[in-house]
């Protein structure tokens, strides 16, 4: 998420302070029944332009979509209560979904539901607080349902739309009309998203069926952190695909159909992690609003296609070893991707925090399946 100084705290700041931004995430909702959570983005004022965890931005960030016109999906938004004395937070309102009778905004728990702290009925605003100097903007929805973070294997929430505020076609800013028909993630598949911070970007699915540890912040401020482990995740590259504040963005195929593939949750310097959209829709009991287009065929980067036989074998072996691998110091994710030596074959991909490289060295094969090591950093909720 991306955060900004609260209006109350900002009163006491000197004019010389620089504005800096970095990713954080909010907490999950408080019970196991239906609730909401919004992926928050945050921006912080700081006395040092060279603070270790911040990047100097000045009055505006060239990467930020910042304030999009109201009624837009794939743009800034969040919970009107997602602030502390010092900071306010915002993320991305990802897509329009429906349960067949009502319309809802779809995003993350940590964006809409303040990381499990949100209560049903809380106001969802657009733009998000970070883009309005921590002053709530237009109320476009009310928090409805958000499983606790990690429950049902998703970081997701929905908020019922206030009539007349959001585009009922489900069109996404910078992408346009999307399909309502989900597509399963595939290794090498080209995908797109529109997010609050980096706008419209294109990437490639690097790994599927991944187990990923995502780091969250307990409130809308730097401080105490906790981690949630998700299985069956999607990992996308390159690192420029997303940044803090893009959480909640709907990830679609990078073709004419724009079929939903996943919902952005977290990431690091080199990668982005996402919940598969089918898992999200199943958990929330909703469907995406859009047309019925299905492009079929292949939209793969460089024609990278892994054989079904090698994929099944690698997945079978990975299932037996995921738990032990994730218990190894420095390993933050394990998934199934393409072999570096034989792109047509699948490999077990191990993502290692480059600051905590395990010793002794990791294996080059597991039960005959090749292993590919990717150096990265922690996956942090965006």
Please tell me the distance from the alpha carbon of residue 192 to that of residue 201, in angstroms, as a whole number.
6
In a domain, 78, yes or no: yes
Q: What is the sign of the dihedral through the CA atoms of 51, 57, 61 and 62?
A: negative
Query: Alpha helices, DSSP H only, in the chain?
Result: 7-10, 109-112, 277-284, 308-326
List, for residues 305-338, the tens digit of each pLDDT value.
799 999 999 999 999 999 999 999 999 999 999 9
In a domain, 128, yes or no: yes
Q: What is the pLDDT of residue 72?
A: 86
Domain count, the chain: 1
The contacts of residue 327 (CB under 8 Å, 6+ apart) are none
In a domain, 303, yes or no: no
Q: What is the pLDDT of residue 56?
A: 23
| CA 196, chain centre distance (Å) | 11
Tell me the chain's radius of gyration from C-alpha atoms.
20
The contacts of residue 42 (CB under 8 Å, 6+ apart) are 1, 2, 3, 4, 21, 22, 23, 24, 87, 88, 89, 90, 130, 220, 244, 245
Q: What is the pLDDT of residue 298?
A: 54
Q: What is the pLDDT of residue 222?
A: 73
In a domain, 13, yes or no: yes
For the chain, which ranges sit under pLDDT 70? 1-70, 297-304
Residue given tokens 């609050």 in the structure block? 196
In a domain, 329, yes or no: no
In a domain, 15, yes or no: yes
Both tokens assigned to 146: 């958000």
In a domain, 184, yes or no: no
Residue 28: which domain range? 2-161
- pTM, entire model: 0.84
In a domain, 181, yes or no: no
Please tell me the distance from the alpha carbon of residue 77 to that of residue 67, in angstroms, as a whole number.
9
Q: Closest by alpha carbon to 174, among 156, 193, 158? A: 193
Distances (CA, A) of 347 to 233, 307, 351: 16, 11, 12
Q: What is the pLDDT of residue 4?
A: 67
Please tell me the distance from the alpha carbon of residue 6 to that of residue 382, in angstroms, as a whole number.
19
Q: What is the pLDDT of residue 327?
A: 95
The contacts of residue 117 (CB under 8 Å, 6+ apart) are 26, 27, 28, 29, 30, 219
């Amino acid at each position: 998420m991306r955060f900004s100084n609260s209006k109350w705290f900002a009163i006491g700041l000197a004019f010389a302070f620089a504005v800096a931004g970095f990713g954080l995430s909010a907490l999950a909702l408080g019970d196991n029944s239906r609730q909401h959570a919004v992926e928050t983005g945050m921006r912080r004022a700081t006395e040092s332009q060279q603070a270790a965890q911040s990047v100097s931005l000045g009055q505006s960030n060239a990467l930020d979509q910042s304030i999009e016109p109201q009624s837009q999906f794939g743009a800034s938004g969040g919970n009107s209560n997602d602030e502390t004395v010092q900071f306010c937070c915002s993320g991305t309102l990802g897509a329009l979904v429906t349960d067949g009778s009502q319309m809802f905004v779809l995003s993350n728990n940590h964006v809409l539901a303040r990381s499990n702290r949100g209560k049903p009925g809380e106001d969802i605003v657009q733009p998000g607080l970070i883009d309005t100097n921590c002053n709530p903007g237009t109320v476009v929805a009310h928090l409805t349902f958000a499983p606790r973070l990690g429950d049902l294997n998703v970081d997701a929430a929905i908020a019922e739309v206030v009539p007349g505020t959001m585009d009922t076609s489900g069109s996404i800013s910078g992408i346009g009309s999307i399909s309502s028909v989900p597509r399963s993630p595939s290794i090498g598949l080209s995908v797109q998203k529109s997010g609050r911070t980096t706008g419209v970007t294109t990437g490639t699915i690097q790994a599927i069926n991944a187990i990923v540890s995502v780091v969250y912040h307990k409130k809308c401020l730097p401080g105490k952190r906790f981690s949630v482990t998700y299985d069956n995740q999607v990992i996308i590259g390159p690192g420029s695909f997303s940044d803090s504040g893009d959480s909640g963005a709907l990830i679609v195929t990078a073709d004419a159909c724009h079929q939903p593939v996943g919902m952005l949750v977290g990431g690091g310097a080199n990668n982005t992690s996402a919940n598969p959209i089918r898992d999200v829709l199943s958990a929330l009991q909703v469907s995406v609003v859009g047309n019925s287009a299905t492009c079929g065929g292949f939209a793969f980067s460089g024609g990278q296609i892994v054989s079904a036989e090698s994929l099944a074998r690698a997945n079978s072996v990975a299932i037996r070893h995921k738990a032990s691998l994730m218990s190894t110091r420095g390993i933050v994710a394990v998934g199934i991707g393409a072999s570096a030596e034989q792109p047509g074959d699948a490999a077990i991909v191990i993502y290692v925090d480059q600051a905590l490289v395990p010793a002794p060295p990791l294996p080059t094969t597991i039960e005959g399946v090749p292993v590919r090591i990717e150096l990265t950093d922690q996956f942090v909720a965006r």
